[in-house]
Amino acid sequence: MLKFTKEHEWIRVENDVGTVGITDYAQTQLGDVVFVELPQSGKALEQGKEAAVVESVKAASEIYAPASGTVTEVNAALGEQPGKVNEDAGGAGWFFKLKLAKPAELDGLMDEAGYKSYIEGLH
């Protein structure tokens, strides 16, 4: 299951673990990503609260947790290769994995069609 937030994060859920990243639209708006600050493994995150920071040549932006849970893994490769976010935002450029505390929170997020419609409305 793949869901999206209005802040341009995505979460791909398998069993009760969600992999989180930013959308292709978000990385395009940011420009070249030069640094990613990831949460600590084991950190408890709350839906809608800051989870990570991504810095580009244009700006620094907060990444918000699309759902509440505990960080189980971070994408350490982004420390040395933050450009992976630009190259493959929906794949190799993922930020962290989260063991979901409240899976029902996902019901409030958009599906792919809803997200596409949402970003079309931003132009």
- CATH number of the structural domain spanning residue 44: 2.40.50.100
Parallel, antiparallel or unpaired: strands 96-100 and 69-74: antiparallel
Q: Which residue has the tokens 């290769």?
A: 81
**Helical ranges in the chain per DSSP H:** 24-30, 77-80, 84-87, 112-120
The count of domains in the chain is 1
- The parent domain of residue 99 ranges over 2-120
**Average pLDDT per consecutive 10 residues, the chain (123 residues; last block may be shorter):** 97 97 97 97 98 95 98 97 97 98 97 97 87
Give me the pLDDT at residue 123, please: 75
What is the rounded distance in angstroms from the CA atom of residue 80 to the CA atom of residue 54?
A: 13
Within 8 A by CB and 6+ apart from 89, the residues are 21, 22, 23, 24, 26, 27
CB contact at 8 A, 98 and 45: yes
Alpha carbon distance 45, 23 (integer Å): 20
CB atoms within 10 A of CB 59: 10
From the list 114, 108, 97, 54, the residue with the least C-alpha distance to 78 is 54
Instruction: Please report the pLDDT score of residue 94 as a whole number.
Output: 98
